[in-house]
Amino acid sequence: MGISRDRVDEIARLALLELSDDEAHALESQLSQVLDYVAQLETLDLDGVPAMSAMTLATTFRDDDAAPRVLDRDVVLGLAPAHDETQVLVPRVVDHG
């Protein structure tokens, strides 16, 4: 099961990626390999195999405790390329237009 170049171009467009021809060709090959592997997995006989709710047998959670602030706000703002009085300013990455 392969993936077409048109599909790779569509995925790149949705992910807001600009791919060169070489990158798109490599991605086409890599995604085709992933789909081939998934197709192999779909052929497995899983009758009688219980469903798993997690990939690990034991889950460890840490306490959600507030930690004291380690960094001084003025020092952090001074290191930022752009900031206002209380926040680091970053370029817009999502265009809502």
Q: What is the pLDDT of residues 52-71, one digit of tens each?
A: 766 666 667 777 788 777 88
65: amino acid identity, one letter: D
Which distant-in-sequence residues (6+ apart) come within 8 Å of 40 by Cβ?
Answer: none
Residue 59 located in a structural domain: no
Q: Does position 78 have pLDDT exceeding 80, yes or no? A: yes
**Structural domain span for residue 25:** 5-42
Q: Does position 17 have pLDDT exceeding 80, yes or no? A: yes
Check if the beta carbon of residue 1 is closer than 8 Å to that of residue 32. Answer: yes
Residue 19 located in a structural domain: yes
Residue with tokens 């680091």: 88
Alpha-carbon distance 81 to 88, whole Å? 8
| Distinct helix (H) and strand (E) counts, the chain | 3, 0
Residue 89 located in a structural domain: no
Look at 46 and 59; give whichever has higher pLDDT.
Answer: 46
Number of structural domains (the chain) is: 1
**Exposed e or buried b for every residue in 71-89, given b needs 16+ CB within 10 A?**
eeeeeebeeeeeeeeeeee
75: amino acid identity, one letter: V
Alpha-carbon distance 47 to 45, whole Å? 6
Q: Does position 25 have pLDDT exceeding 80, yes or no? A: yes
Whichever domain contains 36, its CATH number is 1.10.20
pLDDT of residue 63: 79
